[in-house]
Amino acid sequence: MAWLAREPEKRSDPELLMPGAKSVVVVLLNYFTDHGHSSDVGKVSRYAWGEDYHDVLSEKLIGLLNQIKAIEPSVKGKICIDTAPFMDKAWAARAGLGWIGKSSNLITRELGSWVFIGALVLDIELDYDLPNSEDHCGTCTACIDACPTQAIVEPYVVDARRCISYATIELRDETLPDEIASNLKGWIYGCDICQDVCPWNRFEQTTAESRFEPRHGETTLDIERLRTMDHDEYVERFRRSPIKRTKLTGLKRNAAALAAAEVS
């Protein structure tokens, strides 16, 4: 993920991201919906079942910023949702919303890890609390033990080159690496294994945001349909979906890898 290496100074200093920045307000949005996968092949990561979270969370943060401006019209703010050079997990932990677990996911005591992170960078001082971001992973290694590609190379460290989520979403190679393709475990877009096994996700609660319900009722994708899908069908099917991130070529590549695994 070479883009992570870009603008490191902005990632560590919000004032470079927005001149005059004085405060960071971090929010979480629960996206858990109470559904399972309809098939063991073609599984989609839970975060991508519904509408694109960038759109949903951006809308909510715009509303929050407008409420702040209604109180103090001179306030300037910048919305950050994981497209800006902003260390969202680090700021969420610093704000006391949870801790970064051994899987490298942000984990909360109230909702587990099924949360999106958003932030407002503001040019005003606020009344700050004294958050507690204590690590509650303890001696648990469930996520490390369950990862089929051993991507969690040590507690709190994920090697993206071994990660199913990275490979099926971000990787632009024409074929998946052999060690990934042979261990997909049915995943075609993303992977939730480290979250599914996390004991803290026993506290999961169904979100009140209906836009995170599965689009078209689908939690898996038909790999044969994907392999024959043309661009127009792709555009229509995945409009406003996070799944468009991997592009049609990526979905076809992933489908081909799953089909080959099924044959073998």
Residues 75, 68 contacting (CB under 8 angstroms): yes
Which residues fall within 8 angstroms of residue 30, CB to CB, at 6 or more apart? 111, 114, 115, 205, 207, 208, 209
82 carries an active-site annotation: yes
Residues 42, 221 contacting (CB under 8 angstroms): yes
Encoded tokens for 254: 């992933």
The residue type of 81 is I
Given 34, 40, 82, 196, the catalytic residue: 82
The residues assigned a catalytic role are: 82
